[in-house]
Amino acid sequence: MPKKTTGYTDDHAKAGLDTKFPSIETFQNQFQAYEILVDDPEFTSVCPKTGLPDFGRITIRYMPRKRCLELKSLKEYLFTYRNLGIFQENIVNQVLDDVVKAANPVWAKVVGDFRPRGGISTIVEAFYPRPKNSKGPRG
């Protein structure tokens, strides 16, 4: 029996990752050992195969070291995804990489909680520092 496929390709999987994202501005941190949670409850992007919109919530939680994320530039950065064809997994990991590049936090976590499409919702989490040799949540 032939293998059934959805038609997604490796090109779909890489879609959006070659985009030139705007830089996220920062400002000098004045305190130590505290958390910042940034919440974007109206995040949108586009499915790279179907062109249909994806809706979700992106949260960025981090402990600043010397720099904090400037929110207006972060908002403009997140707007870049609005018309971009990109997988949800790639969004979360790209946002994490760009937050780390901009602010060099002590630690960071980005969560994408995407609304159901076709009855399935997705939650993607990415962490910095990235775990080495992770065997999943049960070790």
Residues with catalytic roles: 47, 54
Secondary structure class of 118 (helix, strand, coil): coil
Name, in order, each residue with C-beta under 8 angstroms of 9's C-beta and a sequence gap of 6 or more.
none
Token code pair at residue 137: 């949540």
Closest CA to 105 of 116, 114, 96: 96
